[in-house]
Amino acid sequence: MTTFEKDDAILLLSDGTLIKGKSFGSKGTVIGEIVFNTGITGYQEVLTDPSYFGQLITFTYPELGNTGVNSEDNESDSPYAKGVIVRNFARTPSNWRANITFEKWLKEENVVGIYGVDTRELVRHLRSSGTMNALICSELKEVSLSSLLERIQAAPIMKGLNLAEKVTTTKFYKWDTTAIPEFDKRLKLEPQIPFKVVAIDFGIKRSILNRLVAHGCEVVVLPSNAGYKDVLDLEPEGIFFSNGPGDPAAVKEGIDLAKRLIEERDLPMFGICLGHQILGLALGGKTFKLTYGHRGLNHPCGISGRVEITSQNHGFALEAESLNSNNVDITHLNLNDGTVAGIAMCNRPVFGIQYHPEASPGPHDADYHFARFAEVMSERR
């Protein structure tokens, strides 16, 4: 048994690494895959992104909470991450848009936090050892570290998990265009009649829906288990496959849907992140788990001399060698490690990108992919 102070917290990794810190946010014990995000802004958007479902997020930026939390920047109704790991946090925000402090928000949303962690050392460890399951515990008193380690090692690992089914909508709905924040109304294309788009929700972000609308789309969102008939009954001009958490190879219904639509319908299709991987799997490709993933706002992607700085959040990638070059072009590579960052069918209007062009948070270099999708639909009218 080990005795701790009242406000102590620990971070315990499945390889036995123990890091001591202080508790903030909600108190409790949570287990999940530990990952790291290298962005210097956007903690509210990151924590409410469904793609982080069940994960413990290490933020490399040394202080969080300076801008508090506001009512507009959430990517979903509430945080999907289980825990937050930081060096330090601001107790008093300084931003005119803030409605609540960062810590109070975490408490209200039952997100467990630990601060006082040397996040540089932790990230160096994760980069060399890879992502793994970990535990944050702030209800210590007297606790057995061996029993906590057993709980971590008994928890399921990310590979093989279909988490899209945990975060998807349970019903069809039309995205409310009045919900678009004023600052996000960067219109690129304004057709007289909106493009009818069906979005398959594997963990879709609000900012993606807003960008589709801003590019002239009328979007109906369907659950991740939507069937072929469900999609076609809506008579879409285009189909969007969203981002989401978990192992893409485990999302069997989404892969089967994409495969049938590709084989039987000549419709424009666009996938982002998990949706991009699902399109690749439907085209006969394979995916693999990255050692520590790509999560940040400054990943360079490109091919043939064109480079765009991108926002990324994923732990799996498509195997380049598994893609049939007679049918699929690799359009973008992650220039840090050479992994596949974009694909397109050679003779069909089907394409996907591994990164997040909606830039919430992040750079706007890749926003043109939404216009690309809209333009393909416009050409077919």
263 noted as active-site residue? no
Collapse the DSSP code of 48 into the 3-class scheme (helix H, G, I; strand E, B; otherwise coil) and give the result: coil
Q: Which of 276, 308, 358, 369 is catalytic?
A: 358
Return the pLDDT at 4.
66
Return the pLDDT at 184.
58
Cα within 13 Å of Cα(303), Cβ side: 13
Kind and range of the H or E run holding 21: strand 18-25
- Give ranges for CATH 3.50.30.20 in the chain: 2-154
Q: How far apart are CA 320 and CA 233, in angstroms?
A: 34
Tokens of 364: 């706007």
The pTM of this model reads 0.95
- Cβ-in-10-Å burial (0-12, 13-18, 19+) of 16 comes to exposed
Return the pLDDT at 140.
82
- Across the strands, what pairs with 21? 9
| Nearest Cα to Cα of residue 237 among 278, 276, 209, 198 | 198
- Across the strands, what pairs with 174? 220
Q: Which of 273, 276, 314, 332 is catalytic?
A: 273
72 noted as active-site residue? no
Q: How far apart are CA 102 and CA 115, in angstroms?
A: 13
153 phi and psi angles, rounded to 5 deg: -70, -20
Q: Which of 276, 314, 356, 369 is catalytic?
A: 356
What would the DSSP string read from start to end of 125-193? Answer: HHHHH--EEEEEE---SEE-HHHHHHHHHHSPPSTT---HHHHS-SS-EE--GGGS-GGG---S---SS
Helical spans, DSSP H, in 265-349: 274-282
pLDDT, one tens digit for every residue, the chain (381 residues): 456 677 899 999 999 999 999 999 999 999 999 999 999 999 999 999 999 999 999 999 999 999 999 989 999 999 999 999 999 999 999 999 999 999 999 999 999 999 999 999 999 999 999 999 999 999 887 778 899 999 999 999 999 999 999 999 999 999 977 656 655 555 555 677 899 999 999 999 999 999 999 999 999 999 999 999 999 999 999 999 999 999 999 999 999 999 999 999 999 999 999 999 999 999 999 999 999 999 999 999 998 778 999 999 999 999 999 999 999 999 999 999 999 999 999 999 999 999 999 999 999 999 999 999 999 999 998
DSSP code for 254? H
358 noted as active-site residue? yes
Domain 2-154 annotated CATH 3.40.50.360: no
Residues 6+ positions from 159 with CB-CB distance below 8 Å: 247, 289
- Give ranges for CATH 3.40.50.880 in the chain: 164-379
Tokens of 378: 């416009």
* Torsion sign across C-alpha atoms 157, 80, 312, 348: positive
209 phi and psi angles, rounded to 5 deg: -60, -40
Q: What is the CATH number of domain 164-379?
A: 3.40.50.880
